[in-house]
Amino acid sequence: MSPITPSEVARTSVVRTVAELRSRLAAHRRTGLTIGLVPTMGALHEGHLSLIRHARARCERVVVSLFVNPAQFNERSDLERYPRRERDDVALAVEAGADVLFAPSVEEVYPPGFATSVEVLGLTDRLEGAARGSEHFRGVATVVTKLLCMAMPDVAYFGQKDAQQVLVIRRLAADLNLPVRIEALPTVREPDGLAMSSRNALLDPDQRVRALALSAALDRVGELATAGERSAEALLAAAHATLSSAGVSPEYVALVEPDTLEPIDRLTGEALLAIAARIGDVRLIDNATLRPTPAAPSSQRLPGETITRCNA
């Protein structure tokens, strides 16, 4: 995809520098307009667009960043293969309600001599942090902190598909006293259940079918929990079995506390089920929140009846 032309930049409010971004937003901020930020790495899909539309409905000005952050990629080949289609992204974002597209260069975000990083301890040691290394979340935390400082939004919107990332960003915003509300929206899925991801475009037809094993595993665990299964060991075994039947070997399958990511032994309250797996050379993640439903009062049960439900 060729870069957009100068005339297209003018029509679609694309800015390339922090100075331009702040200048564009200064008047809005002075008049008290609410500013929403949707950070993305481009290759926009319906998941991103739902965030932009949500921001449009609640904020008076919407900024969308388009920046493939090299600092959060562990493998150079993964960075080089990541889809880039700026012209399409600009058109989609504007149609969804974006007022400003911030598409900086790597040098604008990480200028010569850049030597600062942001690291959130504890939450980044497990799941994605354990699988991808500490540098991944250091890269995420650093670039998100920079974007929040560059745009200074009132609200920033993220997708719950990256559940661990949302926790990390909420933690850094709280710890650094950043005046922004972090809002997460539910995962958007394809009609067949596959969680929308920019990486899905890299799957060939056979891999696309195999990728459905991730959502199928989440559904299977949800069914078992609804039927009353509370053992984490049994629930995780079911997820592994579903993945294995599709020929998928996960990097991890974990049932954890949703706020701390600490592993749990038994499903007694809300929990996060998280999965990561490689389908060919494409790494995908997915998750679901399990919410056990309290048993009905004894006066509503038949004698000897036990009711246990869990909605995934």
Cα torsion 220, 226, 229, 232 to 10°: value is 60
Query: What is the DSSP pairing of strand 155-159 with strand 181-185?
Result: parallel
Query: Closest Cα partner for 68 from 49, 89, 52, 51?
Result: 89
Query: What is the DSSP pairing of strand 100-102 with strand 250-256?
Result: unpaired
Query: What is the DSSP pairing of strand 181-185 with strand 250-256?
Result: unpaired
Kindly state the DSSP code that residue 124 receives in the 8-state scheme: T
Catalytic residues: 48
Q: Phi, psi at residue 196, to the nearest 5°?
A: -65, 135
Per-position DSSP letters for 71-96, written without gaps between them: GG-S-HHHHHHS---HHHHHHHHHHH
Q: Where do runs of H (alpha helix) occur along 152-272?
A: 163-175, 205-210, 212-226, 232-245
The Cα-based distances of 1 to 80, 87, 89, 268 in angstroms read 14, 7, 11, 50
Crossing angle of helices 86-96 and 46-58, rounded to 10°:
40
Query: Closest Cα partner for 144 from 118, 123, 167?
Result: 118
**To which H or E segment does residue 25 belong?**
helix 18-30
